[in-house]
Amino acid sequence: MKISMTALSCLFLGVLLSSGCSKSGSREHQTQEQPPVKGITTAAVVAAPIPETMEVVGTVRAKTSAAVSSRISGIISLLRVREGDRVKKGELLARIESTESLAGSVQADAAVDEARQGLDEAMTRKKLADATFERYRKLYEEQALTRQEFDVKQAERDLATQGVARADARLKQLQASGRSASAVADYTKIIAPISGVVTAKPVNLGSTVFPGQPLMIIEDEGSYQLDLAIPESHGGKIKSGTPVLVTIDGGGSSYSARIAQVVPAADPVSRTFIAKVNLVGTGLRSGAFGRAVINLGTGVAGILAPRQAVFEKGALTAVWVVDANRIARLRLVKPGRVLEDKVEILSGLSAGEKVIIVGGNNVSDGSKIEPNNGN
């Protein structure tokens, strides 16, 4: 019996299809019998009130800082610090060479010495006048002198007393001037007013400085704050104690804090006012950029997923969802705001669904899982 080519082709195709179906069925059987993935922890997606928040930016500043300025004119003859150096209160930072201030101090000291000598001379004259008056008083009582001679010696004694008073007043005046001149001379020494770190030093050795010119800025490293620029339209909602979520650029993490102080005056140019948040942690630097999410109150209900469950997959955001049969499925979601340990989910999840928060790296789409927490 002859078999046509068409019949042979159909027979061969049928064998291939039968073999393919058999292999496919075998793979499905193998997949179904794969052991469940262990070491998995799940958590439920919840519906909860989403607080109304506002994100603002701010600048890190030292709570305690000192701008050191020159009080006299002169030339920087000694400069012992530079940016980044740590100094202690009372430490000599620089010295200003000022010929006028030094000359004034020397002149004041000389004037004080001269006035002191003048007081000594006046007291000597008064002592002599007192002794002479006593002798003449006795002679007058014995009627050995005329009244006029006695009055002359009494007048000489009174004039000597007034001379001592004038010399003493002159000395005190010049001593006060001397103290003032000495204080001005001490202005040549630039002393650290607080302990901290030098963050700015716009002058160099040999620079000519003038009264009021900034020499350096010292900041206390022990305390920093974040100055937030709040739109004045939210002035009624921001108060001391309002919770915020703070993030400092370069800090690598966010943490909860509260507004410590609200400056009541607004900037007429930017139409903002300043709210201050005390910062904690190390590595803070004055002038760093920071952000804060301010809690303005409770808003509408939303969907919240654990922050650990959400991950980036390429340019997309996804979670591992565990269905009722404990099968893991990759689900793309649209995230919203980060609220401490939760993430707002705008789309992709419903309340009550379970998501993987630990062990997701060992899961593939369609894997059977065995959660540690029995969920």
* Same domain membership, residue 147 and residue 120: yes
- 19 falls within a domain: no
Residues 84 and 228 in one domain: no
Specify whether 89 is located in the same domain as 206. Answer: yes
181 and 215 part of one domain: no
Indicate whether 88 pLDDT > 90. Answer: yes
Q: What tokens were used for 244?
A: 């915020």
Handedness of CA 343, 345, 350, 355 (dihedral sign): negative
The candidate with the shortest Cα–Cα distance to 318, out of 272, 254, 270, 364, is 364
Residue 327 lies in a domain: no
Q: Which residue has the higher pLDDT, 219 or 98?
A: 219
Average pLDDT over residues 158-165: 89
In a domain, 25, yes or no: no
Query: Is 293 a domain residue?
Result: yes
Query: Considering the domain boundaries, does residue 360 fall inside one?
Result: no
Same domain, 229 and 174: no
Give me the CATH number covering residue 276.
Answer: 2.40.30.170
| Residue-level pLDDT at 373 | 66
Q: Show the tokens assigned to 246.
A: 């703070």
Q: Which of 284, 299, 314 is the last residue of a domain?
A: 299
| Three-state secondary structure readout of 63-102 | CCEEEEECCCCEEEEEECCCCCCEECCCCEEEEEECHHHH
Residue 332 forms part of a structural domain: no
Looking at the fold, whether 177 and 237 belong to one and the same domain comes out as: no
- pLDDT tens, residue by residue, 328-373: 999 999 998 887 788 999 999 999 999 999 988 888 888 898 887 6
Q: Which domain holds residue 211?
A: 68-96+187-221
DSSP letters spanning 127-152: HHHHHHHHHHHHHHHTT-S-HHHHHH
- % of the chain beyond a pLDDT of 70: 85
Answer yes or no: do 128 and 198 share one domain. no
Mean pLDDT of all residues in the chain?
81
Query: In the prediction, which pLDDT does 99 show?
Result: 66
- Asked if residue 212 and residue 73 are part of one domain, the reply reads yes
More confident: 350 or 111: 350
Predicted TM-score (pTM) of the model is 0.51
Question: Number of structural domains, the chain?
Answer: 3
